[in-house]
Amino acid sequence: MLGRYNLGQLLSMAGIAEGVENSNFLLRTDKANFILTLYEKRVDEADLPYFLGLMEHLSKTGLQCPVPIKDNTGKVLQSCAGRVAAIVSFLDGTSQKFPNVEKCAELGRSLAHFHLESSSFALKRDNSLGPDSWLPLLRSVNSELADMPENLKEQAENIIHQLTDAWPAQLPAGHIHADLFPNNALFVGDKLTGIIDFYFACNDLYSYDLGVCLNSWCFDKDGSFNISKSANFLRAYQGIRPLTEDEKQNLHVLCSGAAMRFFLTRLYDWINTPSDAMVKPLDPLEFWARLRFHQKVTGPGDYGLWS
């Protein structure tokens, strides 16, 4: 496969353990480092031009993200080991599970840049894990929920109905990352050096993307909500793209929805992942607790939005 590129002589190739949705390998050549991704079956091949095209578009606007590498014929998508594959540029930096306040502010600025600069990207992709998917996903979990709270499914179904009834439809929307957890942001010190893993990106509400980040960046190790992180993230974001009043007033609904989405996908994986799988499923109750927090929010001030 590498013979189709002008990437230099291969020095080493090593698997990257962090890859969950796909299989990723670090390629070291005498010219530079690259990432080879072999896509799993759960990634729809028809969506790959959107994901890779969005990365290429954003990189041209100055956002730090992987750049898809074209082979000598101009192709990005390849076949490798019987799977669809692509090579992208390597970004320096490391991720941190519980980022500090400064990193949260860096993220806010970069996410606002992402939302604004992606507006001219022409391809579209629906959010396959949006509100319409939640009830079918919950009902697909038919096994007994051992070690889970009593009546968890019944409670979750009631909340889904509440959220879908309250879901705002006319808020600013466009391309969003939809999975911008701390492990998908790289830093050197407190400087953001890259946003990665665009394989849930889609068209949806910008403030839903904020909800994903508030859930994944602003809760501390003990499960408590860190309003300083939230306030700095939102202040930095608004310094580039100010939120509308409707976005502010609906933020608790979008945060609840984001928590529900990740609770449900984790619950599904908790039940359906084989016990001998190399990647262990993540605890769904972590996001159930965050969902319950958002349900008690009384206004945007609870997230540090005081004006």
Structure confidence by residue, pLDDT tens digits, 111-146: 999 999 999 999 999 999 999 999 999 999 887 777
Plot region of 189 (φ>0 → left; ψ -120 to 50 → alpha; else → beta):
left
Amino acid at 122: A
Contact 220, 210 (CB under 8 A): no
Q: How confident is the model at residue 19 (pLDDT cuts 50, 70, 90)?
A: very low
pLDDT computed for residue 17 by the predictor: 63
In a domain? residue 279: yes
pLDDT value at position 116?
98
- Where is average pLDDT lowest: 98-102, 113-117, 249-253, 270-274? 270-274
Residues of the chain above pLDDT 90, percent: 82
Lowest mean pLDDT among 187-191, 210-214, 269-273: 269-273
Same domain, 113 and 226: yes
**Residue where one domain finishes, among candidates 37, 64, 89:** 89
Helix (H) or strand (E) holding 258: helix 251-272
Tokens of 76: 């990005």
pLDDT attached to residue 23: 84
Residue 200 CA to residue 198 CA, distance in Å, equals: 6
Residues 66 and 112 in one domain: no
Domain identity same for 36 and 123: no
Assess whether 150 and 287 both reside in one domain: yes
C-alpha span between 47 and 271 (Å, rounded): 27
Question: How many domains are there within the chain?
Answer: 2
**What is the b/e burial string over 143-162, where b = at least 16 CB atoms within 10 angstroms of the residue's CB?**
eeeeeeeeebeeebeebbee
Q: Which domain holds residue 228?
A: 101-303
Query: Same domain, yes or no, for 64 and 110?
Result: no
If 0-12 CB within 10 Å is exposed, 13-18 middle and 19+ buried, where does residue 168 land? middle
Amino acid 277: pLDDT: 58
Q: How many residues does the chain have?
A: 307
232 with 252, same domain? yes
Asked if residue 32 lies in contact with residue 7, where contact means CB atoms within 8 angstroms, the answer is: yes
**Per-residue pLDDT at 276:** 61
Residues 123 and 254 occupy one common structural domain: yes
Q: Which residue has the higher pLDDT, 280 or 173?
A: 173
Domain membership flag for residue 85: yes
Per-residue pLDDT tens digits for 32-84: 999 999 998 778 899 999 999 999 999 999 999 999 999 999 999 999 888 89
Confidence of residue 267 (pLDDT cuts 50, 70, 90): very high
Answer for the pair 284, 261: CB distance below 8 angstroms, yes or no: no
Q: Is the pLDDT of residue 278 over 70?
A: no
Of the listed ranges 13-27, 176-190, 254-268, the least confidently predicted one is: 13-27
Average pLDDT across the chain, whole number:
93
Domain of residue 109, CATH code: 3.90.1200.10
Q: What is the sign, positive or negative, of the torsion defined by CA atoms of 182, 183, 185, 187?
A: positive
